[in-house]
Structure 1
Amino acid sequence: MEAANHAAIPQEMENATRNSTEFSSNSLAIATHIMTILQSFQVPIHRKLLKFDRHHHGLEFDPRFPLWIRRGDRRLLQEENPIPNITVAKDGSGDFRTISEAVELIPKKKKTRFVIYVKEGVYLENVSIDKDYWNVMIYGDGMYKTIVSGSLNKVDGTPTFSSGTLIAAGRRFIARDMGFINTAGPEKEQAVAMRSSSDQSVFYRCYFDAYQDTLYVHSNRQFYRDCHVTGTVDFIFGNAAVVLQNCSIQPRQPGPDQFNTITAQSKTDPNQNTGISIQRCHITPFDNLTATTYLGRPWKDFATTMFMQSHIGDIVDPAGWTQWTQGVDPPNTIFYAEYENLGPGSGINERINWPGVKPNVTTEEARRFTVESLIQGNQWLPKDSMVYESSLE
C-alpha cells in the first residue's frame, strides 16, 4: 500500500465519525462506513474470528467480565477492599457523610480510576455522576448494606429521565456492592432507581429496587453481573447495548389494574447495535405476585431483546410478550428472541405469533447477544482490526 494511502486513513476515519454523537460507538452504520473506507484503501478485513489469549498482557482472563474491562479495573472488581480516594460514612468516620459531597471532588475527565468507598448505611440522596467524570468507581459493603435511596417520580413532577436515585453518565463508571432504590411506589408511576448512559459501565453485585422503570439502561455499552433487579412495568428499559448476566430479576406486585413487563427496549434505527440481553439469569417473583407478567413489550419500532440460557419461573404468561398499546400489534421490525431457557415459564408453544417474535433462535443468532458480540464486538474496529470469538459457553 502506498504511504500516502496510509496517511489518508486516519483523516477518512475522522471524517466518518466527526458528526456522530459522543459515545455513539453502538452505531453499526458508522462501523460499516469505516469498514468501507478501510477496504477502499485495501486494508485487509479478515472475517476469521480470533480467540482472546487468556493470558493477554500477563493477566489471567476472568470470563465473568467483558474483555474491555482493563486490568486495573478487573483487580478493583475482585479485590475485597480496594484502596479508596475518598471514604463516605454516615457516622462521620469517613471523609464525608454524603456521597454527593464526595462526588464534588472528583476530577473531571480523569484518565485513571477514582475510587469512592461508601460504608454501610442508608443514604437519602440522589447522586449524579456527570458526563465529565470519567473512570469513577463507587463501592460499598454489600448490595443490601450500602443503600442509596431516593423517591423522585413522574407524578410529583420529575421527568423519568431525571428521576434516577443514581445517574451515571461519565464513561467507564463502575458500581460494586451497592444498592440503589426508589421508594416512590407504584402509585407514583415512573420512578427510576438507576439510569446509566455511561459507556463501558459495569455494575457488579448491585441491587436495583423500585416499581415502574427501575433500571434505565439509557445508552452505550453496559454490563451487569450478579445483580438483583425488582420492578413492575417496563422495569429494565432503554436503548443501551446491555448484557445482564447471572442476575436475579424479580417482578413484583404492581398497582391495581396493572400488569408487569420485565423489559421495554427502545431501538429506533435498525443500524444501531443495541439491545437488551438477559443471559443466565433467574426470573422469579419478588413477593406474592398475582399480576400477569410478560418478558417485555416493544417501546419503539425496532425493539430488540434476547432471553437466553436463563431460568424463567411460572410467573411469565405463556404468550411471553405483549403489545405497547393494547389492541395494536407491533411492527414486524421488532426482534424478540429466546434461546435455551429453562423453567416452567420457558415453554414456547404458546408464544404470541408475531413476525418479530423468535422463540427458538439458532446458536448463531444467539451469539449476537453475548458479551463479546453485543457490548464489545466493535472494539476491534478503531484498534487492531480484529473481532473476538463469540461464545455461549
Structure 2
Amino acid sequence: MVMLWWSEGNCFTFDTIVATDGSGDYKTIAEALDAAPKMSSQQYFIHVKGGIYNENVTISDDKTNISLVGDGMGVTIIAANKSGKVLPTPFTATLEVYGSGFVGMSMTIRNTAGAEGAQAAALTSAPYHGVASYYQCSFEGYQDTIFALDYAFFRECNISGTIDFITGSGRLIVQNSAVNARSPMKSQGIRILAPGADNITSNPGLVLQNCTILPVSDFNKEEISSVLGWPWKDQGKGVIMSSYIGDFIDPKGFAPHPEVTDIYMAEYDNRGPGSDTKDRVNWSKVIDEEEASKFTVRNFLQGDTWIPEIIPYYLDL
C-alpha cells in the first residue's frame, strides 16, 4: 500500500495498485475490481498507474465506494470501442458505474468507436438510487459521451463529443469544466445537452455551471450547426449557468424535439459571444437568481452530504 498526500491537506492510502508493466498488484483494472470488497462502507482506493488500459471497466452494483485514481488526464487512459451499432447506449460505455459512492479521479476515459459508431459512450454513470463523483477526468467520445442516471457530480473535467454528448435522466452537475464540441460526420451537427426523465430519479436534470463551452481547434463553425441542447424526453431539464459560451453556438440556442412538449431548457448569467439570448427559440428560458439556485450543488444534488472532501466544489451560485 502507498500513501498519497494531497496539497489541500487530505491524504488517503491506496488499497491496491494496477500497472500495465507489472509493477503493481494487478495488470488490469478488472482484476483489481474482482478482488475489491463487496458492499463496502469505506472508500476502497485503487491506484491506476499511467498507461493505456484497453478494457471495458464495470463497477458492479455490489462494488460500493470504489475510487479509481489515475496519474492524470492523458497519462492514465482507459479505452474501448463498443458502440450503439450492436448495443443499447448504456452498455457501450468504456466505464460503466453501477456501484454507489464511486469516485473517478485523474484519468482519461475514451470511447474509440469514432463518429461513425453511433451512440458510443465513454461513461455510463448509473449507481442505482446512488451517487458518483468525477474529478479531473477527461471523457472523450462522439455521440452520447456521458450517459448519466441517478446523481453525478463532475469537477474540473474535460468532456468532448458531438451529438447529445451529455445525456441521461439523472441529476448531474458539471462544474468548472471544459465542454468541447468535436467535428462530427458530414450532415451531422452538435447538440450538447440531451436531458430526459424516467421513473428512477425524481426531478432529473443536466446542469453546466461555470464551464467553458468551446469547439476543438479544427472545428469549422461555418459548416457545422451547433446548439446547446435539445429536450430528449418530456420532463427532463437542461440548464447552462455562469458559463462561457463560444461563438460557434447558433443564436437560436436550442433545437426542438418533434415528440417532446414538456420542455425546460434554461440559461442564467452566462458570458461570451454565444451567450446572447435575444434570438433564442421562444420556448427556452432565461431564469433569475432565485430559479437558478434550484440547480446548485446544495439544492439540486444535496452534494454537501456525499461529495468527498478530496474533491473541491462550491455549493451555491
* TM-score normalised by L of structure 2: 0.90
Number of the residue aligned with 2:83: 153
Change (3 A) 1:377 1:106: closer
Distance in structure 2 (CA, Å) of the matches to 1:377 and 1:173: 14
Residue 262 in structure 1 maps to residue 187 in structure 2: no
Q: 1:119 aligns with which of 33, 49, 74?
A: 49
What is the deviation of 1:272? 2.1
> Retained in 2: the 8 A contact 1:274–1:374?
no
User: Residues of 2 paired with 1:158 and 1:105: CA distance?
Assistant: 28
One-letter amino acid of the counterpart of residue 256, structure 1:
K
Distance 1:107 1:367, change over 3 A: same
What does residue range 172-321 of structure 1 map to in structure 2 within 5 Å? Answer: 172-198=101-127, 199-217=130-148, 219-268=149-198, 272-290=202-220, 291-321=224-254
Identity of aligned residues (%): 37
> Following the alignment from structure 2 to structure 1, what is the Cα–Cα distance between the partners of residues 7 and 227?
33
Correspondence 1:315-334 to 2 at 5 A: 315-324=248-257, 328=258, 330-331=260-261, 333-334=262-263
- 1:315: Cα distance to partner? 1.1
Distance 1:378 1:83 in 2: 23
* 1:339 alignment counterpart: 268
Distance 1:203 1:390, change over 3 A: closer
Shift of 1:239: 1.0
Q: Could you list the per-position Cα deviations for residues 239-286 of structure 1 after superposition, in whole angstroms to 9, with x for gaps in the alignment?
A: 1111100000001110110011001000257x9221011000000112
**Separation in structure 2 between the aligned mates of residue 129 and residue 329 of structure 1, nearest angstrom:** 34
SS in 1 for 2:163: coil
Q: Aligned AA for 1:210?
A: G
Which letter maps to 2:123? M
What SS does the corresponding residue of 1:104 show, helix, strand or coil?
A: helix
Shift in Å at residue 176 of structure 1?
Answer: 0.6
* Matched residue type, 1:276: L
> For each residue in 1:317-375, what CA deviation from the matched residue of structure 2 results, as whole angstroms up to 9, or x when unmatched?
10100023xxx3741x2111100000000000000112xx10x2111000010000111
Matched residue SS, 1:162:
helix
CA distance in 1, matches of 2:18, 2:84: 30
| Helix, strand or coil at the partner of 2:35 | coil
RMSD between aligned residues: 2.2
Which sections of structure 2, spanning at least 5 residues, go unmatched?
307-313
Q: Is the 8 A contact 2:232 2:260 kept in 1?
A: no
The higher radius of gyration belongs to 1
* Residues 170-217 of structure 1: per-residue CA shift (max 9 Å, x gap): 011000101100000011111010100122211000000010110111
* Partners of 1:131 and 1:229 in 2: CA distance: 25
- Residue 77 and residue 267 in structure 1: after superposition, are their counterparts in 2 closer, same or farther (change >3 A)? farther
- Per-residue deviation, 1:154: 1.5
Aligned length: 301
- Which residue type is aligned with residue 91 of structure 2? S
Match of 1:88 in 2: 18
Flag the structure with higher helix content.
Answer: 1
Quote how far apart the aligned CAs of 1:98 are.
0.6
Mark the runs of 5 or more structure 1 residues left unpaired by the alignment.
Answer: 1-74, 381-388
